[in-house]
Structure formats: structure tokens, C-alpha cells
Amino acid sequence: MKWSIIQCGFLIFALAGGSPALSHGRQSNPNRIKDRKITFLASGLHGYIGCETVATPARKNFSMGISFYTAIWPLVHQPLANFQVGLAGTWITPDNSDDKDVPLDPPGTLARQWKERGPTWDTVFQTIEGSAGYWAGNQFRYGSPKFSMNGTPEAYDYEVGSPGWSFFYGPKALPDNRLGLAQLSNRILVPPDGFTFAGHPDGKFLGYAWMALPLTKKSFSTYPTGDESWTCFLNTTNFKGPIAFYIPETWSKFGKIFNDPYLYGRGLDARPGDIGGGFAMEVNTVPAFTMRGSNGAIYAKIPELQFPVDANGETRIIQDVTYYSKGALFNAMKKWRDGGNSSSGVFDQNHGWRPKLSTYKVQYDQNGKSIQGVTKYFNTRVYDGNIWGLKWTQNGILSKGQFPQYFKQVGNKCIVVPASEVPSALRKKQFPLARPGVPYTSPNRGAWAHPGPVSKRYTTVLADGSTVTYRWYRFIDQPAFQQYHWSERKKAALQSLIEQIQSSWPINRSYMPPPTTGKLVTIDPGLIVRPPKGMEIGYVPIVVGQEKN
């Protein structure tokens, strides 16, 4: 399918009955569970609220990184069960636009089943995704959203969301040969259930970026592997800098696994990034209660979804979007890696491009029925300064930033109705709260044990009420690297470069430009750590467990 305006991966995935990282369209079973006259509906709200960028020729020249600021706020008052909504984010795929008809996803992979993605399946071949939000796999919910990284190295056969675990497929650690994220920072933890935030971040901004860095050299020893290590940077009040990166072999081994030489050189280890042409909130799994009124009509209630709104009735969600070429950081890092002058790590804005944002029509549905009337409450808007968000009105009167909560089924549609029209029993019905889930526990064998950690167990308590257990590993000895048979020379070179980065890149330096408006969010202080004595440089804290406090 060709697009003159490239829409965000979230929207594109909807055409396949799914979404990218945030849900893949695998919504909860919409079977109804009767509770007297009130019925539970798992798919009470679905849709995409987003913006897009015009695919101009200039965009092709800025394909080695992206940074932006996304608003963080508690979408719900309490942690709800059966609830999954992503706050605004984007995604990155390898640019395989030169492939017009050769399938990239081998038969038998999950994404190959999505026929509408043919003939090449390039949009679901490999991706880097994730954002802040509420995920189906969160075991410890606390009201506010969490930030999670995500990568899909093998046509969605599996996902990598932290140095030990998947994105939202439960608390079981990934097999050794599917680990892919390497911890880079020695000052912050990467918990499998996602990064928590401090306080009540009502519309404050999280800055984050994905930058392709040449941390290792190209290799042809086992199978062709490029030199792009896609690295995640954060910008908050109390932590700034890189946190982790995808090891290039995470992407390149796809060709070896399926014995398909055509795939070599086509992954995110070697190709420029086709960086998402837009941003979106993906409203995926929102529960509802339905009830037939005395007039015979069927009414529905969803949880109260709240948005931060200023005095002008505006919600600002995404700002300061910047795409980067190799000149922004890649080239400087390559010189440093090869023995040249060190790099500050700061993104050179002379090699950045800020695309113009525009809105697209928003659509919502409830259990497959189109929802009508939401635009009476709010609509999407691009504000001065190239800031995307929402404009709230209700029949011309300033709204409070609450998504419509009540609906009535009319034919094959649902229309927004006032609470006064809904049966009182339905209005009073409360949605079930989420309960603490199953602990995350790392294996005590394989890559986790050999060479293994060099410290005792440490613990910290997070804002979500969970206790995280972590141990210190020498950087190159962390579990994700143990599946590869690298030469001692290659391991030593990467270990040395990471030690230099840890020594010279402090966590209070602004690597990406600061936000033009608004305030930065604060990462949960429980995630900020200090290396133990003797391990100040060259070691990383690897989470080995997370459980209810």
C-alpha cells in the first residue's frame, strides 16, 4: 500500500487489525460476561488519536535518529484491570523501500500471516517501538503510566522490551538467544515492568530519542552485521542520557535463523531508519459495561479517561520533533570509537530536521461499532511552535479534559450521550481494579550465570509499590551478549568504549535539546542508582527480579 502522507505505525497497523508495539491489535477477548442486567464488554473503546508528517524528500536524509517530547499524565484515576492505552509515541523500521516485491517476512513468522502487509511485509519486518502507557503485561499498576522500550527483531515472533524480558508477554524471562537490549547506563535501572515516574506528572514532558550509534564495527565473521546500535536516550529532571541499546546482531541474525541470505543487510543493524511519519495514542483495550434501558436502547459506560487541560482548553501532547542525519552524532561517535577525539554525546542540531506536523481524522469504535459525537468534546490540533495536541470544547463551552464516558447504540453505531440519559444502575457500576501480578524472576543458569554477576543482590522500591532486585555485571558480561561468540578483541573494544562513555557522559548533561515549552517529568528516584565501590566504571546494574513489595 502506498501513502502520500506516511502515517504513524500505530495507524497503519489498524489496517491489519492490529497496531505496532502497543498491542498488535490482539485485543482482549470481547466475549461478554453477564452480571445480572449489566454486561461486561472488553472492547469498550478502540481508536487512534494522532498526528502525521508529510513524507517530503528531505526526510530521507535524516534517518539516523529521532528525538521528541511526549506528555506524561495519569489517564485514569486508579489502576484498572483489562485496560491498555498507549500515550503518544512512534516507531522505526529499516528502510527497505528498494524492495518492491520480495517478501521480507519468511513463511511461518507471525507477521507473515497479515496478508494485507504484502507483498514485502516491510512495515512488520523489524521495528523499534514503545512509549509511555498502560500495557496488558504490566504486573504492577499504580495509576500513572510507565515508559517501556520495545523491539520486534523477527517479524513479531517475539519482542524485546528490557535487558531480560519481553514487552508485555508476561513475567517469564526471554530465552538466552532472544535477548537483545544491552544495558549501557550505570546510573539507572531498566525494570521489566517499565519505568515509573515520580509524583503526579500532570502533563509534564518526557524527552526521549532513538539514535543509531556505531558502538561496534561492521562484521562479516559469522554473518553480515552492520554497525548501527540503536540507542535510547531519556531527558528528565533527574536523569539525562543513554540507557540501553539494541545489539546489532539482534537484527542481523534473522537471515541466519531462516537461512535466507536475502535478509542480510536489510535489518536495523545496517539500514537507515524509516522513522515513523507520525505520532499517536493507541486506545486499544478499554473495558465497558452495557445495559438495556427501560426504553429498550442499549447503553454503555467506559472508565473516566482524563487529559491535562490548560486555561485555554488545550492539551499539548507532542512537541520538538527532530529527525537526525549521521552528522548529528553517528560520525563523531565513529571517530571516537576508532581512536579519535571523544564525543560529548550532544545531538548536533545543525544536522537535525524538524518536520511540520499535521492532524488526521480520528475514528473510534466500540466492539466494532463506530462511535459518533466525540468531536463535540475535543478535536486534534497543531498549535504554534509545531506542537500537536487536543482542543477541548463542549458545545462551545470549555471542557474539563474528560473523554466521553456514556454511549447509546443506534443501529451499527454508538453515539455519545449525557450521563442523565443512562440508567442509574449503569452509572453506579464500578470497573474492577488491577491486582498485583506475578513476579519477574531471572534464571540462575545460562547467560545469567556465566560469566555471571560480580555483586551481591541489591533492592529498591518503586512508585508502583514493587521491589526491584538487581546485580552488577561487568558491561560485556551481561546476559544479552553471551549468545554471541565474539572475539576477545571485539569484546575488549566495546568494553573500552562503554567505559569511556560512562566516564565522560554525566546524567545531568542535556544531550537532546530542552523542551521549548512546558516542564520535564521526573523519573522515579528509586530507579536512579550509584555503582558500588570498585565498580564505578565499566559495570551495569541488571535487574534480576521485580515483585510486589
Write out pLDDT tens, residues 50-83.
Answer: 898 876 667 778 999 999 999 999 999 899 999 9
Position 3 scores a pLDDT of 30
Residue 429: closest CA among 60, 145, 98, 35: 35
Largest CA distance in the chain: 78
Q: Measure the CA–CA gap between 397 and 272, rounded to whole angstroms.
A: 47
For residue 13, pLDDT over 50 is answered with: no
Quick: pLDDT tens for 136-176.
Answer: 889 999 989 999 999 999 999 999 999 999 997 889 999 99
**Angle, vertex CA 485, rays to CA 484 and CA 491, nearest 5:** 90
Position 489 scores a pLDDT of 97
Q: Which residue type sits at 329?
A: L
Q: Measure the CA–CA gap between 50 and 59, rounded to whole angstroms.
A: 19
For residue 221, pLDDT over 50 is answered with: yes
Position 426 scores a pLDDT of 96
> Percentage of residues in the chain with pLDDT exceeding 70?
92
Q: How far is residue 490 from each of residues 113, 497, 519, measured CA to CA in Å?
A: 38, 11, 41
Listed in sequence order, the residues at least 6 apart from 310 whose beta carbon sits closer than 8 Å to its beta carbon are: 316
CA 441 to chain centre: 22
Residue 180: closest CA among 107, 112, 279, 252: 252
Position 276 scores a pLDDT of 66
Quick: pLDDT tens for 268-298.
Answer: 999 999 986 788 899 989 999 999 998 999 9
For residue 467, pLDDT over 90 is answered with: yes
For residue 7, pLDDT over 60 is answered with: no
Q: Measure the CA–CA gap between 464 and 145, rounded to whole angstroms.
A: 10
**Pairing verdict, β 369-372 and 413-416:** parallel
Q: Measure the CA–CA gap between 380 and 89, rounded to whole angstroms.
A: 16
- Where do the domains of the chain lie? 9-283+316-357
DSSP annotation of 434: P
Position 59 scores a pLDDT of 74
Q: Measure the CA–CA gap between 541 and 453, rounded to whole angstroms.
A: 9
Quick: pLDDT tens for 352-403.
Answer: 999 999 998 888 999 999 999 998 899 999 999 999 999 998 766 677 899 9
- For the segment 250-257, the average pLDDT, to the nearest whole number, is 97
For residue 21, pLDDT over 80 is answered with: no
**439 prior amide bond cis, ω within 30:** no
Position 396 scores a pLDDT of 67
- For the segment 432-451, the average pLDDT, to the nearest whole number, is 96
Q: What is the mean pLDDT of the chain?
A: 91
Where residue 511 falls (left for φ over 0; alpha for ψ -120 to 50; beta otherwise) is alpha
Q: What pTM, to 2 d.p., does this model score?
A: 0.91
- For the segment 457-469, the average pLDDT, to the nearest whole number, is 97
- For the segment 521-545, the average pLDDT, to the nearest whole number, is 98
Q: Measure the CA–CA gap between 277 and 162, rounded to whole angstroms.
A: 25
Q: In the structure grid, which three cell numbers stand for residue 108, read together?
A: 511461518
CA 346 to chain centre: 23
Q: In the structure grid, which three cell numbers stand for residue 154, read together?
A: 523477527
The H-or-E segment that residue 325 falls in is none
458-461 sheet: strands from edge to edge: 440-441, 539-548, 466-474, 458-461
SS3 84: strand
Q: Measure the CA–CA gap between 235 and 255, rounded to whole angstroms.
A: 35
Residues recorded for the chain: 549
> Percentage of residues in the chain with pLDDT exceeding 90?
83
Residue 373: closest CA among 322, 330, 334, 407: 407
Position 4 scores a pLDDT of 29
Q: Measure the CA–CA gap between 27 and 73, rounded to whole angstroms.
A: 23
Q: In the structure grid, which three cell numbers stand for residue 229, read together?
A: 546500535
